[in-house]
């Protein structure tokens, strides 16, 4: 018996596009967020006794999800119907929407797609009435996924876009993203990834796919760090195509009527059944009938020849369209302003392919697809890392394979663009390997291009010019032994013998460098000084560990340590560059999806620092001292951007020759003693620059 289940079946799939929630946002007006705080579950739970109806609703939903996971869908449905009765009887609208989403998931798993859609639509309307864009976006994702599994990529893309649009507006108030009930078929990050895939494959909308790929990285940061704020660039979301506009207008018209009916029905339902007058009971029945008629008309509409022809039109015109022009032109303008010819490269790792998107300053975005399974890609990444970290191994073979997958498909495009710098936004386990160490059969990639990593284009300012005068604080952990516990694991760290020499060399190159060693290199004494300098150099251990941000840390010379989450509390608006010269990833041999590396780049960026250099594995500190000497010599005596100075220093170790830099007034030969035995990428490749490379 389901007395309340269809009360909101009018919820019109027309909610597909209700006013203001599906439109592309204008950059000229600040985006405002409307979140109804009274529906924040965390606050409600504190205000109510533990054994109340809300706790019971939450328990029933959790029990149903377990039953669904055990393939006991009928029992799951019965459990959810109990929860739904409780929510409708007590007016718990937020939990009613959660329960309806879970009911939709049960019907979806049973293959009852029309019933699943009705349930999702009911949840959608409640989210709309509550002004809860976060849950609204996730419900859109559920509907998108429902159409995806029915092989309707057109409607899947449409709904996935609405998930992204609402999510990015919500990101302006990141605390709103914390409430996260388990009521959704896929995660938001999976939604963004799938949307990018569908835009590339089904609709060939490359610029929109690049936008989804960029915002995917912002969402990954949110999942890892929490409370990651958006900005006016992220809040623009993604555009609705012109071919989708007629559908939107039709649905908006239906929605206007549905919202009015829904509000009246909600008001009548607040009256207990025994106190309703005959007229009120009749009106409720009439409203439910009207709502069902709206829903039926909508379902007929989305399957009509008119909508089908619009989908065909999208596929026909996709090659000629360039949607999200505003976001794309902003990126192009940033690339055009860089002193070296730069391009932006996004890889997207999918289960059965690697999708590459290349953005240049002068041409439409370029898409190349590479047939490689994620499993094979990750195996090659693991083999490459092992070879890179072992000087006795040949890293060229796995480096060549990754080159063939990542660079060769866009090799001609890079040449045509006159590329000098690759701005790289790696995905998943690609974050664990340096692009600079890919091998083309003749030379390493760094010998052809500067490499500049970024978190996301929408979070990065490419063109902030550095101060001309370097002021350096150099700190080192040179002696002593400390033990660090990460979860149930212990790691022992000893002082770095060459660190003192590394700091002294830096002070010789850049007079006035402030040196801090060992016990003086403490958290309390060091951090307050950082923003007095343009370069902060730490020759000490740091580790990027999979899992929570609290697992990753920087070790100070006196044994203090700071975790990755707390680094964001530093204030470094005058710092151009933070260098960690002895850090590592994959501690304990475990590789995740690289969120800890993405998170490090973002946390440093959040401090106000323009860029950071870090290493991807523990490096021989003698080789590090040589590389850093070359890097700072170039940075101090030439007009090279940071990314190019790092490149020239790496080439010096590869060739064993002193680097040559070119100043504005002519050439300048920099004389350095470079050890030719440091040419293996173990010594020079781990260092990546993240952020503004100027």
In angstroms, the Cα distances linking 414 to 152, 376, 462, 506 are 35, 26, 19, 35
- Cα separation, 442 vs 59, whole angstroms: 62
Instruction: Centre a 10 Å sphere on the Cβ of residue 392 and count the other Cβ atoms it contains.
Output: 7
Torsion angle in degrees (nearest 10) through CA of 394, 395, 396, 401:
130
Whether residue 684 sits in one domain with residue 566: yes
Q: According to the model, what pLDDT value does residue 316 have? A: 58
Whether residue 78 sits in one domain with residue 164: no
Q: According to the model, what pLDDT value does residue 2 have? A: 41
Whether residue 189 sits in one domain with residue 257: no
Residue at 22 is within a domain:
no
Instruction: Centre a 10 Å sphere on the Cβ of residue 275 and count the other Cβ atoms it contains.
Output: 7
Whether residue 219 sits in one domain with residue 250: no
Residue at 36 is within a domain:
no
- Cα separation, 452 vs 454, whole angstroms: 7
Whether residue 200 sits in one domain with residue 303: no
Beta bridge partners of 318: none
- Cα separation, 648 vs 654, whole angstroms: 10
Residue at 453 is within a domain:
no
Beta bridge partners of 489: 486
For helices 206-225 and 153-170, angle between their N-to-C axes, nearest 10 degrees: 50
- Cα separation, 300 vs 113, whole angstroms: 15
- Cα separation, 380 vs 442, whole angstroms: 20
Torsion angle in degrees (nearest 10) through CA of 192, 197, 198, 199:
90
Residue at 541 is within a domain:
yes
Number of structural domains the chain divides into: 5
DSSP for 590-630 reads: ----SHHHHHHHHHHHHHT-SEEEEESS---HHHHHHHHHH
Whether residue 590 sits in one domain with residue 476: yes
Whether residue 485 sits in one domain with residue 402: no
Tell me whether residue 624 is exposed, middle or buried, using C-beta atoms within 10 angstroms of its C-beta: 0 to 12, 13 to 18, 19 or more.
buried
Q: According to the model, what pLDDT value does residue 5 have? A: 39
Check residue 477 and report its DSSP letter: -
Q: According to the model, what pLDDT value does residue 606 have? A: 93
Whether residue 359 sits in one domain with residue 277: no
Q: According to the model, what pLDDT value does residue 465 have? A: 82
Domain boundary among 238, 269, 298: 238
Residue at 456 is within a domain:
no
Whether residue 339 sits in one domain with residue 316: no
For helices 188-201 and 206-225, angle between their N-to-C axes, nearest 10 degrees: 170
Check residue 440 and report its DSSP letter: -
Whether residue 299 sits in one domain with residue 354: no
- Cα separation, 502 vs 487, whole angstroms: 32
DSSP strand pairing (353-359 vs 342-350): antiparallel
List the CATH number of the domain containing 480: 3.40.50
Residue at 466 is within a domain:
no
Tell me the residue length of the chain.
694
Whether residue 531 sits in one domain with residue 432: no
- Alpha helices in 91-205, H assignment, sequence order: 93-110, 113-130, 133-149, 153-170, 188-201
Whether residue 591 sits in one domain with residue 499: yes
Residue at 151 is within a domain:
yes
Domain enclosing residue 183, as ranges:
132-238
Residue at 19 is within a domain:
no
The stretches in the chain having pLDDT less than 70 are 1-51, 248, 250-252, 254-256, 295, 299, 310-325, 588, 621, 660-676
> What is the gyration radius of the CA atoms in the chain, in angstroms?
28
Instruction: Centre a 10 Å sphere on the Cβ of residue 52 and count the other Cβ atoms it contains.
Output: 14
């Amino acid at each position: 018996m389901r007395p309340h289940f269809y009360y909101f079946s009018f919820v019109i799939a027309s909610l597909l596009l209700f006013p203001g929630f599906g439109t592309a946002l204008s950059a000229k007006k600040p985006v405002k967020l409307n979140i109804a705080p009274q529906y924040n579950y965390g606050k409600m739970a504190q205000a109510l006794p533990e054994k109340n109806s809300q706790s019971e609703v939450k328990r029933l939903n959790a029990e149903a999800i377990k039953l669904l996971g055990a393939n006991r869908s009928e029992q799951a449905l019965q459990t959810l119907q109990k929860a739904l009765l409780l929510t409708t009887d007590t007016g718990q609208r937020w939990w009613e929407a959660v329960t309806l989403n879970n009911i939709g998931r049960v019907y979806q798993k049973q293959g009852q797609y029309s019933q699943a859609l009705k349930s999702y639509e009911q949840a959608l309307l409640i989210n709309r009435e509550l002004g809860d864009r976060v849950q609204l976006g996730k419900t859109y994702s559920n509907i998108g996924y429902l159409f995806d599994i029915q092989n309707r990529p057109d409607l899947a893309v449409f709904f996935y876009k609405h998930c992204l649009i609402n999510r990015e507006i919500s990101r302006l108030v990141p605390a709103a993203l914390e409430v996260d009930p388990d009521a959704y078929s896929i995660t938001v990050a999976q939604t963004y990834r799938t949307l990018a895939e569908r835009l590339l494959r089904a609709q060939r909308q490359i610029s929109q796919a690049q936008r989804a790929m960029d915002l995917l990285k912002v969402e990954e940061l949110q999942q890892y760090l929490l409370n990651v704020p958006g900005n006016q660039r992220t809040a623009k979301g993604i555009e609705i195509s012109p071919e989708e506009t007629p559908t939107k207008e039709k649905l908006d018209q239906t929605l206007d009527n549905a919202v009015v009916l829904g509000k009246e029905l909600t008001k009548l339902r607040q009256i207990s059944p025994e106190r309703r007058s005959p007229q009120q009971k009749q009106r409720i029945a009439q409203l439910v009938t009207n709502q069902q008629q709206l829903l039926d008309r909508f379902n007929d509409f989305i399957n009509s020849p008119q909508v089908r022809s619009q989908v065909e039109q999208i596929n026909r015109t996709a090659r000629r369209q360039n949607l999200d022009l505003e976001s794309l032109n902003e990126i192009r303008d940033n690339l055009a302003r860089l002193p070296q010819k730069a391009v932006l490269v996004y890889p997207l790792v999918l289960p059965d392919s690697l999708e590459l998107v290349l953005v240049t300053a002068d041409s439409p975005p370029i898409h190349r697809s590479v047939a490689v399974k994620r499993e094979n890609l990750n195996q090659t990444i693991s083999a490459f890392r092992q070879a890179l970290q072992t000087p006795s191994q040949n890293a060229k073979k796995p480096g060549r394979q990754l080159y063939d997958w990542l660079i060769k498909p866009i090799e001609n495009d890079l040449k045509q663009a006159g590329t000098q710098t690759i701005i790289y936004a790696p995905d998943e386990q690609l974050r664990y390997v340096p692009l600079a160490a890919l091998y083309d059969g003749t030379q390493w990639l760094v010998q052809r291009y500067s490499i500049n990593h970024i978190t996301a284009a929408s979070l990065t300012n490419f063109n902030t010019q550095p101060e001309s005068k370097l002021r350096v604080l150099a700190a080192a952990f040179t002696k002593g032994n400390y033990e660090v516990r990460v979860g149930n694991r212990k790691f022992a760290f000893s002082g770095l013998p060459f660190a003192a020499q590394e700091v002294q060399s830096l002070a010789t190159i850049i007079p006035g460098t402030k040196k801090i060693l060992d016990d003086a290199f403490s958290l309390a004494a060091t951090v307050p000084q950082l923003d007095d300098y343009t370069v902060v150099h730490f020759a000490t251990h740091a580790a990027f560990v999979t899992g929570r941000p609290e697992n990753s840390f920087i070790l100070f010379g006196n044994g203090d340590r700071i975790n990755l989450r707390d680094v964001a509390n530093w204030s470094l608006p005058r710092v151009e560059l933070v260098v960690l010269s002895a850090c590592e990833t994959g501690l304990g041999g475990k590789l995740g999806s690289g969120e800890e590396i993405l998170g490090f780049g973002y946390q440093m960026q959040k401090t106000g620092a323009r860029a950071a250099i870090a290493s991807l594995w523990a490096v021989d500190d003698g080789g590090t001292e040589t590389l850093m000497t070359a890097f700072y010599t170039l940075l101090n005596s030439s007009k090279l951007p940071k990314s190019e100075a790092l490149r020239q220093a790496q080439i010096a170790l590869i060739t064993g020759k002193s680097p040559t830099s070119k100043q504005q007034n002519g050439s300048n030969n920099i004389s350095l003693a470079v050890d030719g035995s440091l040419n293996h990428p173990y010594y020079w490749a781990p260092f990546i620059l993240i952020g503004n490379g100027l």
